[in-house]
């Protein structure tokens, strides 16, 4: 039984009820309007247009509701109506067609409330149920030297820097700015739910994961190649012994000659993780490369904010699976997995219950919709509720216990 607190005063005007009925039939009826209908029917069914109710009832799949089930539900609904109206004088019983209408509204109400507690609160009323969320795709913006922003073509996978800035299929993006006396710098950024790549002036390729940013020059100098990264990126660096390649992120600098590696440096994560796939890299604090450490393939450095750099063996697929289109979990804590989902599906993550001991194993294609991914993850001791708050998609993690 659902208890409604602070119920608004109901206008029993027939035209008002009829308008609400039509909104319900059109699938536009809100929770508050649904309560108005419920009150209107249980208190003054003279005002209800019988013909419109009957047209609504024709939409019920009667094959799924036999006589006994209908009778049982009718008695429950009748008692519910009496309980709500017990302070008022009940002059007569509700006719069968009206009871059926109550049933229809209650079934609709059960659908709206089936993911909430038995008490409706202002907090739950702010949300509507969300069916699914599409996966991320090729999305990025290029900020040019003059400050203008180009929204890049989502049908393309990346851009190539050169005498012209082009997409990977050869079509033109923009004319590079004139360098003049200073270095011309560009900023490639991806939003939540976006990924893109850029081929730099020297032929090196950088893949950006969702919610990431790469700052780089239109042309590298004759002495060094230097870029800045925020978020996550995978690098394939062309060898050039005369021009070391340096990647700066926060308090860390990575120096390479020719190699492949991944950097995860999101501002909302605890560590900066650099994972070497092949080649050789030197990792150190920004502007302190003299005390740096070297990584060999398969190793990962971990830098805590303002702390020391440690090294461990890494599961390469767990670190770079995103580039291959995979969520790859290897005893991955639920909170860390949710960070990945939040960025890729552009959703806000919230928690309701203790899920601190939940870990995930295995791999899931990032091309799947969010609902498909959640169905797989729910095989662990966890459940999810997907809702929408205004324009924001919200995923609430629920403990299954």
Place of tokens 């995860």: 264
Confidence of residue 126 (pLDDT cuts 50, 70, 90): low
The pLDDT of 319-335, averaged and rounded, is: 94
Query: With bands split at pLDDT 50, 70 and 90, how would you rate the model's confidence at 314?
Result: very high
Yes or no: say if 217 and 144 are a contact pair by the CB < 8 Å rule.
no
Closest CA to 384 of 321, 344, 341: 341
Distance CA 167, CA 152 (A): 9
**Listed residue (237, 158, 228, 235) closest to 190, CA to CA:** 158
Q: d(Cα 334, Cα 357) in Å, to the nearest integer?
A: 8
Q: Whole-angstrom Cα distance, residue 194 to residue 343? A: 8
Q: Which CATH architecture has domain 325-399?
A: 3-Layer(bab) Sandwich (3.55)
For residue 57, pLDDT over 50 is answered with no
Predicted TM-score (pTM) of the model is: 0.67
| CB-CB contact of 49 with 75 (8 Å) | no
CB neighbour list of residue 176: distance below 8 Å, 6 or more residues apart: 161, 163, 164, 165, 184, 218
pLDDT tens digits for range 172-215 = 997 766 655 557 899 999 999 999 999 999 999 999 999 999 99
Q: Write the CB contacts of 15 (distance below 8 Å, at least 6 apart in sequence).
A: none
What the block records as the tokens of 243 is: 């021009």
Give the helix, strand, coil percentages of the chain, each rounded to 5.
30, 35, 40
Residue 59, both tokens = 């939409």
Among 1-10, 263-272, 369-378, the least confident range: 1-10
Q: Please, what sign has the CA dihedral across residues 106, 108, 109, 110?
A: positive
The pLDDT-based confidence of 326 (bands split at 50, 70, 90) is: very high
Whether residue 94 contacts residue 81, with contact meaning beta carbons closer than 8 Å, is answered with yes
Average pLDDT over the chain, rounded to an integer? 77
Q: Which residue has the higher pLDDT, 184 or 94?
A: 184
- Give the residue among 303, 336, 308, 305 at the shortest CA–CA distance from 322: 336
Three-class secondary structure of residue 65 per DSSP? coil
Q: How confident is the model at residue 288 (pLDDT cuts 50, 70, 90)?
A: low
- Integer angstrom CA distances of residue 325 from 268, 297, 341, 366: 22, 22, 13, 5
C-alpha 369/C-alpha 373 separation (Å) is 7
What gap in Å lies between CA 214 and CA 225, rounded to an integer? 13
- Residue 295, strand partner residues: 281
137-319 and 325-399 have identical folds: no
pLDDT of residue 79: 44
For a pLDDT cut of 90, what percent of the chain falls above it?
Answer: 50
53, 59, 65, 70: CA torsion to nearest 10: 0
- Torsion, Cα 337 338 341 342, to 10 degrees, reads -150
Domain boundaries along the sequence of the chain: 14-125, 137-319, 325-399
**Whole-number Å distance between alpha carbons of 72 and 78:** 10
Query: How does 88-110 read in b/e, with b if 16+ C-beta sit within 10 Å?
Result: eeeeeebeeebbbbbbbbbeebe
CA separation for the pair 342, 325 (Å, rounded)? 16
Average pLDDT over residues 230-244: 94
- CATH number for the region 137-319 comes to 2.60.120.1440
The backbone region for 203, taken as left when phi is positive above 0, alpha when psi lies in -120 to 50, beta otherwise, is left
Place of tokens 């969010």: 370
Other Cβ atoms less than 10 A from the Cβ of 170: the count is 8
Q: Which helix (H) or strand (E) holds 309?
A: strand 309-313
Residue pair 281/294 in contact (Cβ under 8 Å)? The answer is yes
Q: What average pLDDT does this structure show over 347-355?
A: 92
Residue whose pair of structure tokens reads 């490639």 in the numeric block: 188
Calpha distance 316→324 (Å, rounded) = 12
């Amino acid at each position: 039984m659902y208890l409604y607190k602070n119920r608004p005063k109901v206008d029993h005007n027939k035209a008002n009820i009829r308008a609400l009925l039509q909104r319900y039939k059109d699938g536009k009826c809100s929770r508050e309007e649904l309560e108005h209908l419920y009150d209107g029917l249980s208190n003054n069914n003279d005002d209800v247009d019988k013909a419109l109710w009957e047209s609504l009832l024709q939409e019920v799949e009667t094959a799924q509701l036999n006589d006994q089930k209908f009778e049982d539900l009718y008695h429950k609904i009748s008692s519910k109506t009496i309980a709500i109206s017990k302070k008022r004088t009940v002059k007569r019983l509700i006719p069968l067609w009206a009871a059926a209408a109550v049933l229809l509204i209650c079934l609709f109400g059960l659908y709206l409330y089936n993911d909430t507690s038995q008490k409706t609160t202002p907090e739950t009323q702010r949300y509507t149920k969300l069916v699914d969320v599409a996966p991320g795709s090729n999305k990025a913006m290029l900020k040019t030297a003059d400050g203008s922003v180009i929204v890049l073509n989502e049908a393309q996978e990346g851009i190539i820097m050169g005498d012209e800035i082009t997409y990977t299929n050869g079509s033109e993006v923009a004319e590079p700015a004139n360098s003049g006396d200073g270095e011309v710098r560009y900023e490639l950024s991806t939003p939540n739910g976006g990924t893109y790549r850029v081929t730099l002036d020297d032929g090196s390729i950088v893949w950006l994961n969702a919610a990431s940013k790469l700052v780089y020059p239109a042309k590298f100098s004759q002495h060094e190649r230097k870029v800045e990264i925020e978020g996550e990126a995978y690098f394939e660096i062309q060898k050039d012994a005369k021009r070391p390649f340096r990647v700066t992120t926060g308090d860390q600098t990575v120096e390479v000659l020719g190699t492949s590696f991944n950097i995860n440096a999101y501002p909302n994560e605890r560590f900066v993780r650099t994972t070497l796939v092949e080649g050789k890299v030197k990792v150190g604090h920004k502007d302190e490369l003299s005390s740096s450490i070297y990584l060999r393939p398969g190793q990962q450095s971990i830098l805590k904010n303002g702390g020391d750099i440690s090294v461990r063996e890494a599961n390469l697929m767990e670190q770079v699976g995103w580039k291959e289109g995979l969520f790859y979990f290897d005893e991955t804590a639920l909170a860390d997995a949710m960070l990945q989902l939040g960025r890729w599906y552009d959703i806000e993550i919230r928690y309701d219950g203790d899920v601190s001991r939940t870990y995930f194993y295995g791999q899931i294609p990032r091309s799947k919709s969010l609902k498909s991914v959640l169905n797989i993850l729910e095989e662990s001791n966890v459940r999810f509720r997907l809702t929408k708050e205004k324009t924001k998609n919200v995923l609430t993690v629920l403990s299954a216990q």
